[in-house]
Amino acid sequence: MSTVLLANSTVAFEQRVRRSFKGSLEAEVSRWDSPAGAGNPHAAVKEMMEESPDVVAIGPNIDLEEALELAWTFESLHPEVETILVAEPDERLWRKALRSGATDVVKPAAPYDEIREIFEHVLETATRRRLNLIQEVGEGGRSGRVITVVAPKGGSGKTALSTNLAVSLAATGDQRVVLVDLDLQFGDVADALQLRPEHTIADLKQSAGGLSRTNLKAVLTRRGENLFVLCAPLNPAEGELITSGEIEEVLQILKTEFDVVVIDTPAGLTEQTLTSVELSSDLMLICDLSASSVRGLHKVLEALDRLEIDGPKRHFILNRADSRVGVTVDDASAVVGMPVSVAIPSARDVPLSMNQGIPVIEAAPRTMVARRFKSTAHLLNGHDGPAGSNGSATPRRGILARLKGDHEAQ
């Protein structure tokens, strides 16, 4: 059973916590208020750890700066313990709480349902982290599936694929999914999912003690039961400060915390994209039927081959596959050198859904385009997609195929 420790709390708040659960809290609750640790956060944390807490709620009967220092000491010495600040929240406090490593902030007189929701969420996180630690020690570490979406050009439908894929995978209910917006300067995953994130990946630069599981978890934005999003910076200048080494650290942590990591990338092959590609189990390679887009994807694959990045399984997703622009599906397949895994048709529903911030698989689930997006999730889960979604037939040589042959002959 989990243990919740109310540090420097009050009898009134303890009763409020217990009443919030009406006896259904699956955790032992106790209070700690010892003068031995006054003014000495290290001594206080050492004393509290004798109770083996999973969650420590700090306050409200304590100076705010002391509470933040306690949270930071837990983060430094015992990052496996989740902390909650019991105080009146404001924007400044939220920022300080994030930097101190606290998981959440709750008002002393918060409504019962709010207290229950916060404690349930933090207890769930603490339990999951404990299980992950057991797996890492006993089984060599958990490793979730990493799926990177790559496109040679902007406007290929990369973000539409990323968001619909992540939402579809999370909807199965049996896996926790995190969607990472790696377009660090102009990423719009948050808009595509109608999210208003309080934090972005840029906030990790400000986290006390550097990158950690707790700090990373604190900047995720939740959407629904099983989907979390690591949003791109709001300011393009902040994105320029994030290095590929930091991206690698972030992804290494996420793949141990989640069953699936879906990564939306900027157009082309940036350093950050190559970092995510090297860590991936699957690549979703997407282009449309324009000649430049098809040729661009062929160049992307050539670059990956030259770099000897051949570990991830490659899936060719052709967007707007029914466009009549003088290039056929077979042409695209011949130039890229791969059969089309999923052919997504043109549909007005897609830009509409992007503007509304509701993925098309939710906004118009019965449409053909929604079914094809869902088939990408079926593809990754090892199931066949809807009829006509595959492009595995031997391609005939068309306009672009001949152009490719002419190029190779030169």
Residue 335 main-chain phi, psi, to 5 deg: -70, -45
The range of the structural domain enclosing residue 114 comes to 2-137
The total domain count for the chain is 2
pTM above 0.75, yes or no: no
Strand order through the sheet with 342-343:
221-223, 227-230, 177-181, 260-264, 145-150, 282-287, 313-318, 342-343
**Same-domain check for residues 396 and 257:** yes
Do 40 and 163 lie in one domain? The reply is no
Q: How many CA atoms lie within 13 A of 67 on its CB side?
A: 27
| Closest CA relative to residue 363, chosen from 155, 232, 192 | 192
The 10 Å Cβ neighbour count of residue 337 is: 14
Q: Do residues 345 and 369 lie in contact, with contact meaning Cβ atoms separated by under 8 Å?
A: yes
- Is residue 78 domain-shared with residue 217, that is, in the same domain? no
3-state secondary structure of 380: helix
Residues 6+ apart with CB under 8 A from 346: 320, 321, 322, 323, 369
Q: According to the model, what pLDDT value does residue 382 have? A: 64
CA distance 255 to 222: 17
pLDDT tens over the chain, length 410 residues: 678 899 988 899 999 988 888 767 667 888 998 765 567 888 888 889 888 888 999 999 999 899 999 998 887 777 778 899 999 888 788 888 888 888 889 999 999 999 989 988 888 877 766 555 434 433 334 578 999 999 998 888 999 999 999 999 998 877 899 999 999 999 999 999 988 888 899 988 776 556 778 788 888 988 887 899 999 998 889 888 888 889 999 999 999 889 999 999 999 899 889 999 999 999 999 999 999 999 999 999 999 999 999 889 999 999 998 888 888 899 999 999 999 999 999 999 999 999 988 899 998 999 999 999 999 988 887 654 443 334 333 333 343 443 344 444 43
DSSP class of 49:
G
pLDDT in tens, 301-311: 999 999 999 88
Which tokens is 338 given? 């791969």
Buried b (16+ CB within 10 A) or exposed e, 110-131: beeeebbebbbebbebbbebee
d(CA 79, CA 291): 51
pLDDT for residue 206: 73
Q: What pLDDT, in 10s, does the model give residues 174-229?
A: 789 999 999 999 999 999 998 888 889 998 877 655 677 878 888 898 888 789 99
Q: Which among 262, 307, 305 is positioned nearest to 283, based on CA atoms?
A: 262
130 and 216 both lie in a single domain:
no
Res 387: pLDDT: 36
Residues 154 and 112 in one domain: no
Task: Please indicate, yes or no, whether residues 291 and 368 belong to a single structural domain of this protein.
Answer: yes
Q: How many CB atoms lie within 10 A of CB 206?
A: 12
> What was the pLDDT predicted at 403?
39
Query: Among 115, 137, 159, which residue terminates a domain?
Result: 137
Is residue 105 located within the same domain as residue 230? no
Tell whether 65 and 193 lie within a shared domain: no
- The answer on 83 and 156 residing in a single domain is no
- Of 86, 106, 137, which residue is a domain's last? 137
Q: What are the backbone angles phi and psi of residue 263, rounded to the nearest 5°?
A: -120, 120
pLDDT of residue 130: 57
Task: Give the end of a domain, one of 121, 137, 153.
Answer: 137
Q: What is the pLDDT of residue 410?
A: 39
CB 9 within 8 A of CB 84: no
In a shared domain, residues 159 and 241? yes
